[in-house]
Structure 1
Amino acid sequence: MASSSPRGSHLLTEGPIGRTMISFALPIMAGNAAQSLNGSINSIWVGRYLGEAALTATANANNIMFFLIGSMFGIGMAATILIGQAIGARDTERARKIMGTSATFFISLSAVIACLGWFMTDKVLRAMGTPAPALPLAEQYLQVIFLSMPFIYAFAFISAALRGAGDSRTPFRFLLMSVALDIVLNPLLIFGWGPVPAFGIAGSAMSTFFAQGLSLAAMLLHLRRKRHVLWLGRKDAHLLKIDLSVLRALIVKGVPMGLQMVLISLAMIAMISLVNAHGTTTAAGYGAALQLWTYVQMPAMAIGAACSSIAAQSVGAGRWDRVGATARTGTLFNFLMTGALIAPLILFDRYTLALFLPEGSASFEIARHLNHIAVWSFLFFGVTFVISGVVRATGAVIPPLLILGFALWGIRVPFATLLQPVIGMDALWWSFPVSALCSMLMSMAYYRWGGWRRARMMAAPERVAAPVATQSIAMPAEVPAQPPAPVADMSPEQQSRGPGPRDLDDELSEKAPG
């Protein structure tokens, strides 16, 4: 069996899981923090120097951009899992075919969005109720953002594909390049300097256009120079032809994962509406807490993404023992890393919240009170994110969507709405840990007793059964449920890997694929 990984990829099916997970998750978490910091810096330039109307314009336009990016999140995750399973099975031919179909789909879709968006910007902004003073500014900004969408989509897709191949560092390096360019170009293009004219608010969007475009070009050149397994050159043009089985998997499995982001966004809008009903003071306190929560949830999201990639490669390699270990390790790291952020935010909240609220603000104590109640929900949220990442790696995408939907819309929003007459405004804050705890318990129950191990991302290719090293994508349904063989009857490789595919708390019982 070949032990080397496909060119440019990193096998996540070997070595200590804890070390692998941390080294994979840290670049993702750092990248998320860098993007958040970049957004804050850009808002400072626009808000402080171009005025409130300009800041309102970018806020309205960015809502549309984030929706478009979030709507593609699921399909990007599907590509990550498909490529991860192929890399885990060391089936480079299949990984490259998935890469080609996904690239054609993403690029084509982004081009359509860019064209439609350019001509429909005004209608979209008016439909959102953008204030009249901000409308012309928002249109200038959003039209350039739409032109940037092919770069944004391509960069996000290639980053997802590389993570599926086990590489989170390369996307992080070029993401840092994009953030640095954006930070430098933003004031230059807004205000002008020397031969560079002042573009005003359009300059802020142009900085995104150039930063994304240049970073994407640099990443593609890097992949070409390294002759990465996922690099498709002119000789690989035939791989760009759409494979209908791959496309179907991207859509059928990706849309439910994308809907999770939609459910989260809609639930946040519903909660903000409930908070706004209590006045500006309460809304400001809630807004300050949200700023902190943006950073608190980053470890869970990064660990969840790492678990998904590790589990996907493990499924492809038939390493079900490693899938269970990934869930256990991810859960432990979530508690350690998320808890390490929550503790100082509670202990030193007078200083952290003061970053967002002026001295003597009536919102300050409200923010402290709600933060003490609600911030703990991210410990439970992290477990759900980890377990969802693991089970989705097999292709089980509907149950996590249903669990999240029920937790948000069957528990959180009704709890916050119906219990306000009973316990007052605290119903809003307690709805967060209550719904997060229920979501965690439902996810754990599905992990323990659900049929996610029998799920598939797509139909397995028709080929003669072969050792794991040359097999296409080892699916659980292809492995008969058998009692573990005596150690004496095992090959040296089997002895080193253990008696059989065992998961968290002996899950592979009668429900094991067979």
Structure 2
Amino acid sequence: MPSQQKLLEAPIHRALLSLAVPIVIGQILQSAYQLTDAFWVGRLGAHQVAAVSVSMPVTFLVIALGSGLAMAGATLSAQYMGAKQYEKVNHVAAQTMLMVLFTSIVLGLTGYLLSPYFLTLLSVESAVYQDALRFMHVSFIGVVFVFTFAMFQAIMRGIGQVKVPLYIVLGTVLANFLLDPLFIFGFGPVPAYGVMGAALSTLVTQGLAAVLGLVVLVKGRHGIHLQRRHFKPDMTYIRRAFFLGVPGSVELSARALGLIIMSFLVASFGTVTIASYGVGSNILQVVTIPAMGLSMAVSTLVGQNLGARQIERAEKVTYIGTLWGFLALTLLGVLAYFFAPNIVGFFIPDDPQVIEHGGEFVRTMALTWGFIGVQLCVVSAFRASGNMVNTMVLSLLSQWVFQFPLAYVLSKHTALAEAGIWYSFAVTNVLIAIVSVAWFARGRWKETRLTEDDHSVLQVTEEALIEIDEHR
């Protein structure tokens, strides 16, 4: 594991690589949950793929509501680590874990109870409804495990420890690979659960990951050592984390709501379009993994360098990471453009219509993927500096000002039809990247302080709101 001092003093390229490579590998492995599910569910047919596709945005919305608290904990952990305030790192980790556990239980129960109403609002076809409902119910039961392990990963990344989460993910992905076909198709005494089997497999393996993560934190051998005294509720910290974390929750929730609204629009064109959208979205998640991993490395380095008051180095980290993200996703986009039908056919081989429409979706947006890499790295720098409102505003612009209005107008009021939805992705990728870089270049993010006497966390939201008011 790269030591904290190496992360703060090593050449930026080397520090980024030392963090990004294990994170990218971990992200690739973690995406194998969705890939494995998509591969096996695709063998069941287009209706089953559609059932998973309409379920995911709703599940993501509920998870997003509590994820801002995890962001706050990860941001503070990175800056306290950079400032060498190690006891506060432990305190932040424990308090954030408490909040995340409570939030996940409440949101998981709420999502479970409201699942039928979500699907009714989405006007899901009768052939898809029951499978989607079963998938959502099991997914919401597992929300507490998803939250817990995500919090563990975020805290460990914040302190620069990226290999232990990687090992846990590797083990659970292998378990999921074995359990997925078993639960979906059945074998021996195990019945065939169909689409619900994919959710059951993920539930079991995420539960295992959450337990292992908690064990690592309590054992204290990898940079964080949680003890009973750290879990005593600290309302002062909770209030601070709330102010820092709420914009992050709004950001992710707005993104999830945008996906749900997009699902309404996609569903209006029928099952083939829903399945094409679902497969294309899965492919997009996979190809953005390098930039996601890189952006997480950027977040860790920016946070620790800001905590150590190395502001110019934090800025250089962001620009180097942004360039790398652009180049990596542009290369993947070019490859995806030429092999789109083959890639789509891997996920759903027996439906020529879905292969055709899904291939069009991938080709339309592929050449703009590099701009996603730009946005991800810039947003990570904002988040690491504590400027959560900036990331929230960028998310609102992306989903509600650019993408959804474009998708609606192009698909419903032009001859493009469902292809208008695909074009909205491409246009939004470019626009939001330009806005993100322009805002970052202004430099106001450098003024935020989270570790000076630990008093300015409450001012973060106010400072960002003042900046937003100046744009009006």
The answer to whether the superposition gives a TM-score over 0.5 is: yes
Which residue does the alignment assign to 1:267?
A: 258
Residue 152 of structure 1 and its aligned partner are, at CA, apart by: 2.1
Aligned equivalent of 1:30, options 25, 31, 52: 25
Contact kept, 8 Å, 1:346 with 1:372, in 2: the verdict is: yes
Residue 178 of structure 1 and its aligned partner are, at CA, apart by: 1.4
Contact kept, 8 Å, 2:82 with 2:305, in 1: the verdict is: yes
Aligned equivalent of 1:300, options 288, 291, 303: 291
Aligned partner letter, 2:246: V
Which ranges of structure 2 fall in alignment gaps of 5 or more residues?
461-472
1:453 lines up with 2:446 in the alignment: yes
| d(CA) in 1 for partners of 2:139, 2:416 | 42
Aligned equivalent of 1:104, options 98, 110, 124: 98
Q: So what's the TM-score if we normalise by structure 1?
A: 0.75
Cα 1:147/1:431, change in 2 over 3 Å:
closer
- 1:354-389 Cα shifts (integer Å, max 9, x gaps): 435668946666555554442222212221211111
| d(CA) in 1 for partners of 2:20, 2:50 | 34
Aligned equivalent of 1:207, options 198, 201, 208: 201
Aligned partner letter, 1:102: T
Which residue does the alignment assign to 1:231?
A: 225
Q: Which protein shows a greater Rg?
A: 1
Which residue does the alignment assign to 2:213?
A: 219
Which ranges of structure 1 fall in alignment gaps of 5 or more residues?
463-471, 477-514
Contact kept, 8 Å, 1:11 with 1:313, in 2: the verdict is: no
Which residue does the alignment assign to 2:336?
A: 345
| d(CA) in 2 for partners of 1:260, 1:52 | 31
1:402 lines up with 2:393 in the alignment: yes
| d(CA) in 2 for partners of 1:412, 1:55 | 24
Cα 1:340/1:58, change in 2 over 3 Å:
closer
Cα 1:100/1:137, change in 2 over 3 Å:
same
Bigger Cα displacement from structure 2, 89-98 vs 444-453 = 444-453
Aligned equivalent of 1:159, options 138, 144, 153: 153
Contact kept, 8 Å, 2:322 with 2:374, in 1: the verdict is: yes
Aligned partner letter, 2:397: F
Residue 341 of structure 1 and its aligned partner are, at CA, apart by: 0.9
Residue 161 of structure 1 and its aligned partner are, at CA, apart by: 0.5
Q: Secondary structure at the match of 2:30?
A: helix
Contact kept, 8 Å, 1:275 with 1:282, in 2: the verdict is: yes
State the number of aligned residues. 455
Which residue does the alignment assign to 2:405?
A: 414
Residue 399 of structure 1 and its aligned partner are, at CA, apart by: 2.3
| d(CA) in 2 for partners of 1:423, 1:458 | 55
Cα RMSD (Å): 3.7
Which residue does the alignment assign to 2:469?
A: none
| d(CA) in 2 for partners of 1:368, 1:132 | 27
1:21 lines up with 2:16 in the alignment: yes
Residue 118 of structure 1 and its aligned partner are, at CA, apart by: 6.0
1:171 lines up with 2:165 in the alignment: yes
Aligned equivalent of 1:72, options 59, 66, 83: 66
- 1:178-207 Cα shifts (integer Å, max 9, x gaps): 12112223344556666x553735655443
Which residue does the alignment assign to 2:437?
A: 444
Contact kept, 8 Å, 1:342 with 1:375, in 2: the verdict is: yes
Which residue does the alignment assign to 1:489?
A: none
Bigger Cα displacement from structure 2, 183-192 vs 384-393 = 183-192
| d(CA) in 1 for partners of 2:369, 2:48 | 33
| d(CA) in 2 for partners of 1:137, 1:364 | 22
| d(CA) in 2 for partners of 1:386, 1:205 | 31
Instruction: Map 1:418-433 onto structure 2 (within 5 A).
Output: 418=409, 424=416, 428-433=421-426
Contact kept, 8 Å, 1:300 with 1:382, in 2: the verdict is: yes
Contact kept, 8 Å, 2:26 with 2:170, in 1: the verdict is: yes
Cα 1:132/1:370, change in 2 over 3 Å:
closer
- 1:219-268 Cα shifts (integer Å, max 9, x gaps): 34444555333221xxx312112223322232222222232223333334
Q: Secondary structure at the match of 2:84?
A: coil
Higher helix share: 2
Which residue does the alignment assign to 1:82?
A: 76
| d(CA) in 2 for partners of 1:342, 1:314 | 32
Contact kept, 8 Å, 1:25 with 1:305, in 2: the verdict is: yes
Q: Matched residues, percent identical?
A: 27
Cα 1:417/1:132, change in 2 over 3 Å:
closer
- 1:305-358 Cα shifts (integer Å, max 9, x gaps): 211111011111111121111111101211221122112112333533443566
Contact kept, 8 Å, 2:161 with 2:223, in 1: the verdict is: no
Cα 1:459/1:127, change in 2 over 3 Å:
farther
Contact kept, 8 Å, 1:276 with 1:282, in 2: the verdict is: yes
- 1:59-78 Cα shifts (integer Å, max 9, x gaps): 56555433332333322221
Residue 168 of structure 1 and its aligned partner are, at CA, apart by: 1.9
Contact kept, 8 Å, 2:307 with 2:451, in 1: the verdict is: no
Cα 1:120/1:317, change in 2 over 3 Å:
same
| d(CA) in 2 for partners of 1:231, 1:333 | 34
Cα 1:261/1:358, change in 2 over 3 Å:
same
Instruction: Map 1:451-490 onto structure 2 (within 5 A).
Output: 451-457=444-450, 460-461=453-454
